[in-house]
């Protein structure tokens, strides 16, 4: 039996000021998601983590690439760049300043709003990259030298294939191996053991570090 009652759920919905019809549509989408193909909008949103990981690894927005700064600062630099705003609009189909928390808040001027936007987006990306999938992607980029596994297709098809390939880099995907040949995988036992030794990177006090 669930530990959360329906009364608690309803109370939370009221607290978040969600309209019943909006929640009903969301619940219906969740129920049907496993029975249908992802929409283009869903593919874009679920692929945002790949875009963030790649740009953070390559320190996009940080002018001095050799300067030793925390990953949080690297992320903040990226958020403050025009590249981030453009990418956010591409993946979420709305401006970076259209966050619900920002819309509900009042600011003394454009600068205070900009600061709030930067800090909120920075915090969101930090949380995203601290999730198991985010940590795995960052570790992969460290091991690979900054590249994901190549995937065929363009736009939405590319993102679908990238997600599929990166969900298990050690597995040979038939549709990819037909294009890239045997170099795509799978790893043999020796390669897998070597990979495991190089792979365990974790976020430790604001830095990606290799752990024993």
CA angle 81, 208, 173 (to 5 degrees): 85
Same domain, 97 and 190: yes
Residue 64: band (very low, low, confident or very high) from pLDDT cuts 50, 70, 90: confident
Q: How confident is the model at residue 149 (pLDDT cuts 50, 70, 90)?
A: confident
Of residues 195 and 57, more confidence is placed in 57
My answer on whether 19 and 102 are in the same domain is no
Is residue 11 domain-shared with residue 97, that is, in the same domain? no
Q: How far is 164 from 182, CA to CA, in rounded Å?
A: 18
| Distance of alpha carbon 101 from the chain centroid | 20
Q: 46 and 20, same structural domain?
A: no
Domain that residue 10 falls in: 1-36
50 with 74, same domain?
yes
pLDDT of residue 190: 63
- Write down the pLDDT at residue 85: 96
Q: How many structural domains compose the chain?
A: 2
- The answer, yes or no, to whether residue 79 has pLDDT greater than 90, is yes
- Res 3: pLDDT: 67
131, 26: one domain: no
Confidence of residue 174 (pLDDT cuts 50, 70, 90): very low
pLDDT: which is higher, 170 or 123? 123
Do 84 and 3 lie in one domain? The reply is no
* Predicted confidence (pLDDT) per residue in 90-137, tens digit: 999 999 999 888 888 888 888 999 999 999 999 999 999 888 888 888
Do the beta carbons of residue 128 and residue 134 sit within 8 Å?
A: yes
Question: Do 49 and 74 belong together in one domain?
Answer: yes
What mean pLDDT do residues 130-149 have?
82
**And the tokens for 138?**
């960052």
My answer on whether 95 and 15 are in the same domain is no
- Model pTM above 0.85: no
Mean pLDDT of 159-167: 85
Do 104 and 23 belong together in one domain?
A: no
For 120, residues 6+ apart whose C-beta sits below 8 A from its C-beta are 99, 101, 102
Same domain, 22 and 120: no
Same domain for 54 and 8: no
> Higher pLDDT residue, 9 or 31?
9
Q: What is the mean pLDDT of the chain?
A: 77
């Amino acid at each position: 039996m669930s530990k959360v009652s329906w009364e608690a759920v309803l109370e939370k919905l009221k607290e978040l000021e969600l309209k019943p019809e909006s929640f009903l549509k969301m619940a219906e989408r969740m129920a049907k998601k496993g029975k249908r193909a992802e929409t283009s909008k869903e593919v874009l949103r679920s692929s945002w983590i790949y875009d963030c990981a790649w740009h953070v690894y390559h320190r996009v927005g940080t002018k001095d690439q050799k300067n030793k700064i925390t990953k949080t600062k690297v992320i903040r630099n990226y958020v403050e760049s025009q590249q981030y705003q453009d990418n956010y609009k591409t993946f979420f189909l709305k401006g970076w300043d259209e966050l619900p928390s920002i819309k509900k808040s009042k600011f003394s001027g454009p600068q205070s709003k900009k600061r709030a936007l930067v800090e909120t987006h920075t915090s969101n990306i930090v949380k995203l990259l601290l999730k198991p999938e985010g940590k795995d992607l960052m570790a992969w980029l460290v091991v690979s030298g900054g590249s994901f596994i190549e995937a065929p297709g363009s736009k939405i098809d590319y993102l679908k294939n990238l997600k599929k390939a990166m969900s298990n880099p050690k597995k040979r995907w038939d549709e990819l191996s037909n294009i890239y040949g045997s170099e795509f995988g799978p790893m043999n036992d020796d390669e897998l053991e070597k990979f495991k030794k190089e792979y365990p990177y974790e976020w430790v006090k604001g830095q990606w570090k290799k752990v024993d």
